[in-house]
């Protein structure tokens, strides 16, 4: 009896519902041996009054009562007004959600999305439009393009039950890169394409938006890259320049530096297509396949990092990209929200020689977020005569 009273007092202090919890108390305290017999007057007093509904309803349990109280409190709470967001913030958040959805959806759903984005196919190869944020290779916890290639191959063959066709990624793209992704239909074709790429017979052109205007407006960057460790509060690894020449101490000439054995050759052709408000639309053509070479060359060789490249906009720390105020104003974005800005790196065009016919030339349309950024920055696309 004493324990039930203590429970009732605790409930009384926490919720203030004296009557309801004390109405439950006689039920929990009543036992087959300890319950005292009620007198006639007590029994008549315990009966429900005429017109009351307590006799018609089952008595509330503690869990049901607590749930009811929470629902009533939720109804009485006034909704907090959400801070207004700009159109670009909404667009970036939608893109982020879309990216996460593609990584976590069922493989068949991703395969259907890729099937709708097939740009070219024949008996040897296929070219698909890679979406943003989806890795090509298998990684833990997310759906990759490689994991859905068996389903995609069947879709390309009309879902034939006895279809034995396969697809293999040849020239991969980074997770946050969009555009033309080349797939081979056999391992022999993969070897052939890798041989063509090694001999510089496969042309890949990328379009990027840069923060800054490259000077000169057209040229070739031939600086090897090497992976280095960045020490500090957040130790991490990233690619860096490993130049073959350095300025001499007098500053009036250059001297050749001994090549680092761990450095990778990296050559990138670039051409400015348009520039406005401190940003540029630049076409890049990598002649080598070093890791992150285009991002490193733009950020550290030309001092014009790619828009949304949060990794290579700083060297000594991991932090969101720092944008000038005028660029933020044009994008309609605050610096505190810049971490949601996607990497503006798009594989625009793929050209490779055909085995039994003319060369294969495939172009990929720009994603929606890329086009909207160009519009905000007043960057115009080149005409067809310039898009070669």
285 in Cβ contact with 268 (< 8 Å): yes
What is the C-alpha separation between 1 and 349, in angstroms, rounded? 82
Please list, residue by residue across 212-234, b when 16 or more beta carbons sit within 10 angstroms of its beta carbon and e when fewer do.
Answer: bbbeeeeeebbbbbbeeeeeeee
Pick one of 3.40.50.10800, 3.40.190.10, 3.30.2350.10, 3.30.460.80 as the CATH number of 87-376.
Answer: 3.30.2350.10
Could you report the per-residue pLDDT of 49-107, keeping only the tens digit for each? Answer: 554 444 555 566 677 777 777 777 766 655 555 556 667 677 677 777 777 777 778 88
Q: Which residue has the tokens 């310039």?
A: 386
Could you report the per-residue pLDDT of 302-320, keeping only the tens digit for each? Answer: 999 999 999 999 988 889 9
What is the structure's pLDDT at 357? 65
What is the structure's pLDDT at 384? 54
Ranges of the chain whose pLDDT falls below 70: 1-61, 74-86, 88, 91, 140, 160-163, 355-357, 384-388
What is the structure's pLDDT at 19? 42
pTM of the model: 0.75
Q: Is 128 helix (H, G, I), strand (E, B) or coil?
A: strand
Tokens (6 digits) for 280? 């540029």
Q: Is 259 helix (H, G, I), strand (E, B) or coil?
A: coil
Q: Is 4 helix (H, G, I), strand (E, B) or coil?
A: helix
What is the structure's pLDDT at 383? 79
């Amino acid at each position: 009896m004493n324990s039930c009273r203590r429970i009732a007092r605790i409930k009384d202090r926490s919720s203030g519902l004296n009557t309801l919890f004390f109405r439950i108390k006689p039920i929990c305290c009543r036992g087959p041996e300890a319950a005292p017999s009620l007198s006639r007057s007590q029994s008549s007093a315990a009966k429900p009054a005429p017109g009351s509904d307590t006799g018609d309803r089952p008595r509330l349990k503690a869990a049901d009562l607590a749930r009811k109280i929470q629902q009533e409190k939720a109804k009485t709470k006034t909704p907090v007004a959400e801070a207004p967001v700009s159109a670009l913030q909404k667009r970036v958040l939608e893109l982020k959600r879309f990216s996460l959805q593609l990584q976590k959806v069922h493989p068949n759903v991703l395969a259907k999305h890729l099937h709708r984005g097939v740009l070219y196919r024949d008996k040897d190869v296929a070219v698909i439009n890679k979406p943003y944020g989806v890795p090509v290779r298998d990684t833990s916890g997310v759906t990759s393009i490689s994991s859905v290639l068996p389903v995609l191959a069947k879709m390309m063959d009309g879902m034939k039950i006895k279809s034995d066709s396969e697809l293999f990624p040849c020239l991969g793209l980074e997770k946050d890169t969009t555009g033309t992704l080349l797939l081979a239909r056999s391992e022999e074709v993969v070897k052939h394409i890798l041989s063509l790429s090694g001999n510089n017979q496969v042309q890949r052109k990328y379009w990027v938006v840069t923060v800054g205007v490259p000077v000169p407006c057209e040229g070739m960057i031939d600086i090897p890259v090497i992976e280095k460790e960045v020490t500090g509060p957040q130790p991490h690894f990233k690619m860096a320049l490993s130049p073959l020449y350095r300025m001499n101490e007098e500053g009036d000439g250059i001297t050749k530096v001994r090549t680092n054995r761990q450095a990778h050759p990296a050559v990138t052709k670039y051409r400015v297509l348009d520039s406005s408000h401190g940003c540029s639309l630049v076409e890049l053509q990598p002649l080598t396949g070093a890791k992150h070479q285009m991002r490193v060359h733009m950020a550290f060789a030309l001092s014009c990092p790619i828009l949304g490249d949060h990794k290579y906009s700083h060297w000594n720390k991991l932090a969101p990209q720092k944008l000038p105020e005028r660029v933020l104003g044009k994008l309609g974005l605050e610096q505190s929200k810049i971490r949601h800005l996607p990497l503006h790196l798009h594989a625009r065009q793929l050209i490779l020689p055909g085995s039994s016919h003319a060369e294969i030339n495939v172009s990929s349309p720009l994603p929606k977020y890329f086009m909207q950024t160009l519009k905000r920055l007043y960057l115009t696309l080149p005409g067809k005569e310039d898009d070669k």
